[in-house]
Amino acid sequence: VNINDEYQAVTNNYGSKLAIEAQRVQDGEKNAKAMIGAALQKHIDAVDPHDCEPGEEDAFFVADIGEVYRQHLRWKKNLPRVTPHYAIKCNPDPKVLQLLAALGAGFDCASKAEIEQVLKIGVDPTRIIYAQPCKTKSYLRYTAKQNVKQMTFDNTDELYKIKDLCPEAELYLRILTDDSASLCRLSQKFGASMDNTVELLTLAKELDLNIAGVAFHVGSGATDPTAFVQAIRDARTVFDQASDLGFAPHTLDVGGGFVSETFEDTAAVLRSALDDHMPSNIRIIAEPGRYYTSAAFTLACNVIARRTVVDPETGAKSYMLYMNDGVYGNFSSIMFDHQHPIPQVLRTTRRPDGFDYKHRSDSSESLVDSGYSSAEEAQDNSGRRQIEYSIWGPTCDGIDCIAEKWYSAETVDVGDWLYFEEMGAYTKCSATRFNGFTDKHETVYVSSEVGASALLGF
């Protein structure tokens, strides 16, 4: 199913496209919270902490594929000219890939394994860009065999390699950008400077290679949309240089870096820069990653241990909570992606014999009563006492810390669960098995959008 057909069907059947979309998104978002909450609750209620097998209480994800679907509609609405190629490094979840493939997106892959995963679900090789400027030789041989032709480069050595192993490639010259306002800077590692582009294009000409266009990336988690403007101006210059050398570049790849919170503003800046510098015959693609999956995944972790700490001077008590997931696992985003995940308390409704509720301030509904406040606050808004916690992962390493200080009005005990929203980007893809803990956590799927459910057969 093509998303454009789906759009068309909505428009034809019900009238105003925008009104319908707005309504759907509102309904979907409303449903989402409750659906995710119900899925979390169901899973933890099925675990008997007194009697479960090792692993049954492992951390798990709830993934709302409806959120990915909504993000795609939002993309199509704000950037109709730009075909997204989902950067699968961000989260190669099979259902996310399946959904985006069905919606007509392309894919940005960085390795043989990623290319293989996308090809396996039936995506045509023309919808893949091998967006890694420094590629492994054997992977290049593989891509040539699989007919994956679009790829980026940014240096002369790579051009010789490509000439040797993949001479039919459709090449995108990746240029350097100002990524100073981004969360994860990429330009210190990749991208040709504007001083080098003519030299690279000239060599490509001498080697009789095919320049398809230009690519850039303004840095992952980009907060300054104007970075796109300069990058597009530079790309325009490189298009002209390539044309002067006799190439016919036809595609601009504006990379990733899109953040949900600022997406509309970024899209507006991008749209107008594209209109100013790239005529409509130029195809535009992008490589969004976190934009699609960040909010779609919620992670729940079990509190496996608790230590009471008494301040020797004041006598005040605080608690160290140890969870069964940490920075060597799905919280790898703390180290690699500069994230600060926020805990919320999840209460089991199971009350097996002997389960210790005596410390509890209450046993109220999950997802409703969680409290989070700044370090300075001793009370929350309703005047409840705040308890000080620090939150740790399960490994032996002292850096395995999820939050040095977290204040909550709720008593959190061994066997309780904490959950964290916005855990869909750069989390499980970089989890390790350090200390023998698992790197394979179950994902429970829900869909808050009927369109997504229909496409995936939910």
Residue 62 Cβ, how far from ligand PLP at the closest point, in Å? 21
Residue 311 Cβ, how far from ligand PLP at the closest point, in Å? 41
| Distance set, CA 17 to CA 2, 9, 99 (Å) | 16, 10, 22
Residue 27: closest CA among 457, 412, 452:
452
Q: Which member of 66, 191, 288, 341 binds ligand PLP (CB under 6 A)? A: 288
220 makes contact with ligand PLP (CB under 6 A)? yes
123 makes contact with ligand PLP (CB under 6 A)? no
Helix residue spans in 151-252 (DSSP H): 156-165, 197-206, 226-244
CB 89 within 8 A of CB 429: yes
Q: Which of residues 36-55 bind ligand PLP (CB under 6 A)?
A: none
Q: Which member of 6, 64, 93, 108 binds ligand PLP (CB under 6 A)? A: 108
Say which DSSP state 171 is in.
E
Q: Which member of 105, 186, 214, 252 binds ligand PLP (CB under 6 A)? A: 186
Q: Within 10 A of 116 (CB to CB), how many other CB atoms are there?
A: 12
CB 172 within 8 A of CB 209: no
What pairing do the DSSP bridges indicate for beta strands 170-174 and 210-215? parallel
User: 109 catalytic, yes or no?
Assistant: no
Nearer to ligand PLP, 20 or 184 (CB): 184
DSSP-based helix, strand, coil % in the chain, nearest 5: 35, 20, 40
Q: Which member of 217, 347, 428, 441 binds ligand PLP (CB under 6 A)? A: 217
Q: Is 444 helix (H, G, I), strand (E, B) or coil?
A: strand
Q: Which of residues 226-255 bind ligand PLP (CB under 6 A)?
A: 255
191 makes contact with ligand PLP (CB under 6 A)? no
Nearer to ligand PLP, 72 or 217 (CB): 217
Residue 291 Cβ, how far from ligand PLP at the closest point, in Å? 6
Residue 294 Cβ, how far from ligand PLP at the closest point, in Å? 8
Residues that contact ligand PLP, how many (by CB under 6 A):
17
Judged by CB under 6 A, the stretch of 48-56, 281-289, 397-405, 435-443 that binds ligand PLP is: 281-289
Q: Which member of 76, 290, 428, 441 binds ligand PLP (CB under 6 A)? A: 290
287 makes contact with ligand PLP (CB under 6 A)? yes
Q: Residue length, the chain?
A: 458
- Which residues sit opposite 325 in a β-bridge? none
175 makes contact with ligand PLP (CB under 6 A)? no
Q: Kindly name the residue from 52, 90, 301, 396 that is annotated as catalytic.
A: 396
Say which DSSP state 190 is in.
S
256 makes contact with ligand PLP (CB under 6 A)? yes
257 makes contact with ligand PLP (CB under 6 A)? yes
Judged by CB under 6 A, the stretch of 4-12, 213-221, 338-346, 376-384 that binds ligand PLP is: 213-221
**Integer Cα distance of 428 and 92 in angstroms:** 9
Say which DSSP state 57 is in.
T
Q: Per residue, what are the HEC states of 367-385?
A: CCCCCCECCCCCECCCCCE
What pairing do the DSSP bridges indicate for beta strands 60-64 and 297-310? antiparallel
Say which DSSP state 119 is in.
H
Residues near ligand PLP (CB under 6 A): 87, 90, 108, 131, 186, 217, 220-221, 255-258, 287-291
Catalytic residues: 396
